Chains A and B, each alone.
Chain A
């Protein structure tokens, strides 16, 4: 018996990474297979990957890097798409292709910051509200309700109006209106999870509230959070572009897609390429994140699985 025990010890200690995580690997494989069979999800993943690649390496390969920061080449203004200027040029002769590519990085930053800040505010508040219950929950949820009752973009416009236009203020404003959704989501999930028996079990072993919340509850909330975050990336991009379009976000000549369209719309319909390409970039990116989010929900959220 002692011999057996020793062998078992050595066996387990000698297991490599792959053998120890065999269950996780199997689960990920299942996820990958389910995901791969879902056509629209794969399309979404492809679009998001295209967007991420563009944001990561695009700015190093653009044909006219100076055009991104607003140089002036009046001699080649408003030229239609051709072999040199793939997406044409704008009213001061900047290459639209360059500006759309560089804009991807700006857009990604905006989307990540807005979603990230919203999660940082929303998830802890939701967990506290759901776990504590009582008056703490009442206070947090009523404040959340107030925020949710005002249309997000309207509130963001009001906040930017007060802070003054600009890309940073636009991000602050959008982050401030974005968190209530996470509070709602996480609070509802926590509320249902905290009555699970394994939470009682953890308490009977002497785990404190913080440990229960972060070690036992939070990992079980991640699936809906990931799904929502993926969807929100698209919506945040749209929100930031809307503020840019209204002149409250990024200011021209900053290469942000919404701000570009804001200027370009006055050149419609004759110089269509100026607004068409940034607009298409927004559509494709938002579509990509939404399809990806839908696909992720199909594999991560079994209740909605068909």
Chain B
């Protein structure tokens, strides 16, 4: 469905007369998402996971690498040719409040993709919007309300209705629940899960909430500083994490079960600046197991098991200890 090949996104944030400053938000990642799959992209703030989502929809320009949607290279598709892509892939944003135009009512907001891509107008358009609202569990009474008159959960439902308006195959969900209350989060997640199985959607689920990821996604990719450091089936990665970063992330999650992996020191310090990434393995500055080799040599992306990939020199040793 969606294939990212060696994808890099760099932002030039140079100020005049101050030399070149480049933010390496995404640095050569590979990710393959099969049709109907729900793949999670996790990592802390600043790891570049949102940028991957935006790049996949061509909202930001890629610096290097290729994006393939259904086997078609869309990396350099010019604007006029992007319409089919827009029909196939849609995005749900983190903050539903700012994702809806405050000057548009719900009818108008949800109708926007239909106006752009279909010939539906007038009453037929209204009917379709009502259908979409029903799918996401909102009554027709919301049609003429404005964004500020809805609750967070309702707004996110509206955003989801808008995203599925064109029957897309792929939904990029950029932290769709992190701006919501915990109780509403649960509702939206449950709804997303049903939606995925009902409509056969493919999800690229971007999140820093590992509990949510475990609930919703079958595969997970862990990102650190613009690179994927570990990827595999959710259960495998969560039960036997190989990369020290994944281990640290998991040890920071308060699982309600007694099987919580213990014994790892929490990470200290902040994520290094993507302007000036560390040499060798980009995680070595915070890795409790870092050795000389980590500082000098970037680890290769290798498979430990058929569906478990990791980028760490000492993954086997760490797993053993």
Measured between beta carbons, the chain A residues less than 8 angstroms from B112 are: 202, 205, 207
Say whether A8 contacts B116, CB under 8 Å.
no
Is B149's CB within 8 Å of the partner chain A? yes
Say whether B103 contacts A201, CB under 8 Å.
no
Say whether A201 contacts B83, CB under 8 Å.
no
Chain A nearest CB, measured from B242 CB (Å) = 34
Measured between beta carbons, the chain A residues less than 8 angstroms from B64 are: none
* CA gap between A23 and B126 in the complex, in Å: 18
Say whether B86 contacts A206, CB under 8 Å.
yes
Name which residue of chain A comes closest to B105, CB basis: A23
Known: A8-B139, A23-B105, A204-B91. A197 touches B99 (CB 8 A): yes
Is B291's CB within 8 Å of the partner chain A? no
Known: A12-B126, A197-B98, A219-B103. A20 touches B86 (CB 8 A): no
Measured between beta carbons, the chain A residues less than 8 angstroms from B95 are: 197
Say whether B103 contacts A220, CB under 8 Å.
yes
Say whether B113 contacts A206, CB under 8 Å.
yes
Name which residue of chain A comes closest to B139, CB basis: A8
Interface size class on chain B is 35 or more
Question: Which of B140-148, B267-275, B293-301 forms part of the interface with chain A?
Answer: B140-148
Say whether B144 contacts A198, CB under 8 Å.
no
Chain B nearest CB, measured from A289 CB (Å) = 26
Known: A200-B93, A204-B90. A220 touches B102 (CB 8 A): yes
Measured between beta carbons, the chain B residues less than 8 angstroms from A197 are: 93-95, 98-99
Question: Which of B23-31, B127-135, B209-217, B309-317 forms part of the interface with chain A?
Answer: B127-135
Measured between beta carbons, the chain B residues less than 8 angstroms from A202 are: 101, 112
Is B82's CB within 8 Å of the partner chain A? yes
Name which residue of chain A comes closest to B149, CB basis: A23
Measured between beta carbons, the chain B residues less than 8 angstroms from A22 are: 144
Measured between beta carbons, the chain B residues less than 8 angstroms from A21 are: 144
Say whether A204 contacts B101, CB under 8 Å.
no
Say whether A205 contacts B113, CB under 8 Å.
yes
Chain B nearest CB, measured from A162 CB (Å) = 37
Is B59's CB within 8 Å of the partner chain A? yes
Is A146's CB within 8 Å of the partner chain B? no
Say whether A203 contacts B59, CB under 8 Å.
yes
Chain B nearest CB, measured from A98 CB (Å) = 46
Name which residue of chain A comes closest to B89, CB basis: A204
* CA gap between A208 and B112 in the complex, in Å: 12
Say whether B113 contacts A198, CB under 8 Å.
no
Is B117's CB within 8 Å of the partner chain A? yes
Is B100's CB within 8 Å of the partner chain A? yes
Q: How many residues of A contact B (CB 8 A)?
A: 28
Is A216's CB within 8 Å of the partner chain B? yes
Is A83's CB within 8 Å of the partner chain B? no
Say whether A204 contacts B145, CB under 8 Å.
no
Name which residue of chain A comes closest to B108, CB basis: A215
Cβ contacts A185-211/B at 8 Å (1 or 0 each):
000000000001110111111111001
* CA gap between A8 and B129 in the complex, in Å: 12
Name which residue of chain B comes closest to A201, CB basis: B99
* CA gap between A183 and B134 in the complex, in Å: 43
Say whether A216 contacts B101, CB under 8 Å.
yes
Measured between beta carbons, the chain A residues less than 8 angstroms from B145 are: 23
* CA gap between A21 and B162 in the complex, in Å: 21
Name which residue of chain B comes closest to A211, CB basis: B116
Measured between beta carbons, the chain B residues less than 8 angstroms from A203 are: 59
Measured between beta carbons, the chain B residues less than 8 angstroms from A23 are: 105, 144-146, 149
**Residue in B112, B123, B131, B139 whose Cβ sees the most chain A Cβ within 10 Å:** B112
Measured between beta carbons, the chain B residues less than 8 angstroms from A15 are: 144
Measured between beta carbons, the chain B residues less than 8 angstroms from A196 are: 98
Is A149's CB within 8 Å of the partner chain B? no
Measured between beta carbons, the chain B residues less than 8 angstroms from A5 are: 130-131, 134
* CA gap between A12 and B131 in the complex, in Å: 12
Is B204's CB within 8 Å of the partner chain A? no
Is B15's CB within 8 Å of the partner chain A? no
Say whether A204 contacts B86, CB under 8 Å.
yes
Is A13's CB within 8 Å of the partner chain B? yes
Cβ 8 A contact of A198, one of B90, B100, B130, B149: B100
Measured between beta carbons, the chain A residues less than 8 angstroms from B100 are: 198, 201
Chain B nearest CB, measured from A190 CB (Å) = 14
Is B69's CB within 8 Å of the partner chain A? no
* CA gap between A20 and B126 in the complex, in Å: 12
Residues of B within 8 A of A (CB): 54, 57, 59, 79, 82-83, 86-87, 90-91, 93-95, 98-105, 112-113, 116-117, 123, 126-127, 130-131, 134, 139-140, 143-146, 149, 159, 162
**29 A-B residue contacts at CB 8 Å?**
A5-B134, A8-B139, A9-B127, A9-B130, A9-B140, A11-B140, A12-B126, A13-B126, A15-B144, A21-B144, A23-B144, A23-B145, A23-B146, A23-B149, A197-B93, A197-B95, A197-B98, A198-B101, A200-B99, A201-B93, A201-B162, A202-B101, A202-B112, A204-B90, A205-B116, A206-B82, A208-B79, A219-B104, A220-B102
Q: Which 5 residue pairs of A and B lie closest in terms of their CB atoms, listed nearest first?
A: A206-B86, A219-B103, A197-B98, A205-B113, A8-B140
Q: 5 more A-B contacts (CB under 8 A) besides A9-B127, A220-B102?
A: A8-B134, A11-B140, A197-B98, A201-B93, A207-B112
Residues of A within 8 A of B (CB): 5, 8-9, 11-13, 15, 19-23, 196-198, 200-208, 211, 216, 219-220
